[in-house]
Structures are given as C-alpha cells and as structure tokens.
Amino acid sequence: MSKDTEVDMKDVELNELDPEKQPMTGDEQTAVGEKNGSVKLKVPEDEVTFTGLSKEELMRVAGTPGWVRTRWVLLVLFWLGWIGMLAGAIVIIVQAPRCKPIPEMNWWNEGPLYQISDLEAFSDGLEGVVSKLDEMNRLKVKGLVIGPLHTVQTNNPETLKFDVIDPNQGTKEHLVAVMEKAHKKGISVVLDLTPNYPSDAPWFTTGDVGDVMEKVTVGAEYWLGLGIDGIKISGLTVATSSVDWSKLQAAFKGNFSEDSNKKALMGVVESTSAADLSLLVNTSSVDLVLSDLLSSKSGGVERIRALDTLNSQQGRLAWGLGAAQKGQLSKEANTPALIRLYQLLLFTMPGTPVFTYGDEIGLRAVEGAGSPKMVWDIETEPAEGALFNETAETERKEQVAVRKWFKSLSDLRGKERSLLHGDYYSLYSSADSLSFLRLWDQSDRYITAVNWGAAPEKLTLKLAPTEGVELPETATVKLSTDEELQADTSVSLDSITLGPGQAILLVFPYTA
C-alpha cells in the first residue's frame, strides 16, 4: 500500500464520528428541525407475509414416509386407549354391587297419615281444615283421614246416608275445597265411611251387614267419583265376612286408572293377633290395615314377636298408639318423654305410621271430656311484662319441643330408604324395651332402641346370623331423648344403657 493511500484512509477515519457522537437517524441525514436522538424507521414498501402451504404442497408433504408412519402410530394409540377405557368401564360395572330393586310404593307408604276424627275440635268444622293444610304439609303428612261425616242416627241403619254430610261438620263444597288444596300440596284425602260410627257396633247388628255393605259400596263410588283418594272403615273383620265384600272391592277397581293415584281401601281391626292379622291382610285384598297391636301388646317381647310376624307385609300395614280408636297418643303415653319415644317407634317401625290430630304436639285429652281442642298458637310467646301462668308456659314450650321432634322424625323417614321400605331385623327385647335394625341395600342403616320402663335398662344388641348383614362395633347417635346419649356421639353396640322412658336412633354406614 502506498503512502498516499495510507494518508487517505487516516483522513477517512478522522472524519468519521465516534458512534456515541453520531445522531440516531441511521444512514439518512438529520432532517431539518429534528432533534438529536429521534429515530426515523423506514417501513418496507412490499412486506412479505407467510400464507401457509398450498393444497398441493400439503399433499406432497403428507405423503412422505415419516408422516404416514406418525399417523398410523397416533391412530393405533387412540383406539388402544378407547378400548382400554371401555374395558375398564365394563369391569367396574361387573364388579360393582347391584342395586336392589325398590318394592312397589304407594302414596300411603311414603309418610304418615293424620286422622281428623272430630273436625269441630280440630278446626271448628270442615271449612277450617283448608287453612290448616300448610301446617300439615310442614309435618310431611302424606294423607289425611277425615271423618266420619255422613248422617246417621245411632244404631238406626234406616237413617244411614253416605252422600249427605252432617251440617254440623260442613258441606260437600267444603270437602271438595279441602281435596283440591290438599292435592296441590301432594296430600291425599281418605274419608272414613264407618257406618254406625256413633256406636261401638260399627256395622249395626250381624243381620244388617249385607244391606249396610250395599250402602257403603254406593257411598264409596259416590265419593271416589268426586276425587276422594281412599275410604276407611272400622270393624274390618265383620266387613270382610260379608258375601257382598267383593262389591266394595270392585268399586275401587272401577275408580282407578293408570294415570291416577291408586285409591286406598283402608280397614281397622282391634283385638286381633299378629297371626290372624297377617292372614287377613293376605286374604282380604285391603290396601292398608290399621291394628291396635301396639296398644294391646304392652310388653317388648310381645311387640317384637308381632313385628317379626308382620314385617314382610309392611307395605299394607299401619301402626298407631290409640289411632285405631281415633284417640290421642297421650292417652297411653302419659309423659312428654314417652310421647317422643312412641313417635320415634312409630316412624321407624316397618309399616305406615298413623297419628291422631294433636299427636304432633302431645295434645292431652281430659278423661271423660270428649275430644280435646286442638292448640294452634304454641309459637306465640307471652308479651313482655304480661302476666302468665307458669304451668301453661311450661306446657307450651314442651309442645313446641315435641312438634320439633315429630318434624325431625317425619323428615328423616321421608328421605331415608332404610326407614321407608327397608328390611327389618330384631335385635333385643324385654318386658319394657326393644330394639331393631332397619336397612336397605347400600343406604345408611338405622337402629331403634326404646325403654318405656320406669328403670334404666342395659340393652345387649344381637343379630341372628344373616347373610350379608352384620353389626359394626359402634354406631352414631342420630336422635336421642336421653341426655346421656347426645346426637353425633359414638356408641358401642356391645352394650347400650337407656334411662327410664328414653329412646335413641342410631345410624351406621353401609360397607361392601
């Protein structure tokens, strides 16, 4: 390189500015009026964007050996995964325990029945029943048994008129209004057509049964045609012995269709053994039979024996304490603790519980004073500063507590399959106490234990060898009247001590 060339290169280097001193305008000259540090970007006039491969290019790439093998691998993996999930689902279904088919259920199997035998004492006549249906609905009542309402003179079959309502009770229009509102709330209505209800002889004399049965059949057809959901009669053993009994049965079949609720033919029997009652249920074709066995059999051993005999027919059996005589439960359960005890027993026994009005608050009847007046304002507390009767206030608070207990039991029975239609197993019985187990398939299991005696009792629960059914070591208290056994606490089933007049409901889960 010549000296002249070296000089020229040095001149160029000296003339160039250091990068720090150059303006930030790139290759272009700084525009007039632009400040040093401003940047001017040059946007290409023709920007090229990628639009993807054409169809021909895609087909050419997709046909290459690599992509063909990849697609086959993914397809095989997909079908292997799908077949694996299908096989797993089949294994789960096969190995899972099968659900037990639910037995035939009718509306009277779904909750308690509520008897209103004296409408005047209940609500000042038939018209007042309409305003009380909201309360019946809160109690989860599934059926009202009303009456008798028809006109008849005591022991005079000639005056018997089933299609005429006693004016002191109300009118046909009032009864229709009750039915319409009750049906909207899912409550069925049964009408008591016991012929000679003012007397102790429900069918008058033996010689009158045939003629009276004919009138009962005509009356049943009349009321069923107006929308009544069932008919109740007392003295069932007398009625079923009549040659005309089949005519009454035919009247029910003629008023039932596939798109309507089944009509219930309900009967009442008294002083009948468990064996005879079982035979009557099987031979009479009655839908529901209410007996007085719980009242007439006061011992735990006798009561358990009756349950053992009848539990397989629970769908057609109704139980009550005093209900067969249309009396209040308090006549036989003379303390608040016993009232709650028998409420628990009735709600958990296999069969339909039947109560007379006022049983939900422990309404007490005065001996020889007729039907007690129903009390409706128990939630009303005395005004502040007002004078009140301390005894009356204590009774009011107890009635509130009894009704709360009743509602808890009714709610539980309505939603627990073991209590609705579950299998029954006896666990213990003595002179003053009993215990049994209710279970259904994979639902929670329930144990009822009651002691109506005057002394504490130790219950040793034992289950006879039964395939697939075992008692656990412990169970949880669901409901209890005994302060020593609080709800949600665990109890050993080896030994349970109940105080006098106390009851307990235990629960434990199903285990495979």
Structure tokens at 110: 């779904």
Q: What is the pLDDT of residues 243-277, one digit of tens each?
A: 999 999 888 876 665 556 789 999 999 999 999 99
Nearest to 294 by CA among 256, 259, 341: 341
Q: What is the pLDDT of residues 158-187, one digit of tens each?
A: 999 999 999 999 999 999 999 999 999 999
Nearest to 252 by CA among 233, 238, 234, 237: 233
Q: 47: helix, coil or strand?
A: coil
Residues 494, 468: Cα–Cα separation, whole Å:
20
Global pTM exceeds 0.85: no
What is the pLDDT, as a whole number, of residue 260? 66
Q: What is the pLDDT of residues 282-293, one digit of tens each?
A: 998 899 999 999
Burial code of 50-60, b = ≥16 C-beta within 10 A, e = fewer? Answer: eeeeeeeeeee
Residues 424, 303: Cα–Cα separation, whole Å:
14
Per the model's pLDDT, the better-predicted residue between 209 and 258 turns out to be 209
What is the pLDDT, as a whole number, of residue 39? 52
Start-end of H helices in 185-259: 209-225, 236-240, 245-254
In this structure, which CATH number among 4.10.220.20, 2.60.40.1180, 3.90.1580.10, 3.40.640.10 belongs to the domain 425-508?
2.60.40.1180
How far is the CA of 192 from the CAs of 112, 187, 340, in angstroms? 17, 16, 27
Q: Which of 205-214, 241-250, 430-439 has the highest mean pLDDT?
A: 430-439
What is the pLDDT, as a whole number, of residue 32? 44
Q: What is the pLDDT of residues 319-342, one digit of tens each?
A: 999 999 999 999 989 899 999 999
Q: Delimit the domains of the chain by residue range.
A: 57-95, 425-508
Determine what percent of the chain is predicted with pLDDT higher than 90: 68
Dump strand ranges (E) for 226-365: 230-234, 264-269, 288-291, 317-319, 352-356
Per the model's pLDDT, the better-predicted residue between 134 and 512 turns out to be 134
Q: How confident is the model at residue 103 (pLDDT cuts 50, 70, 90)?
A: confident
What is the pLDDT, as a whole number, of residue 224? 93
Q: Is-cis flag, bond preceding 112, omega within 30?
A: no
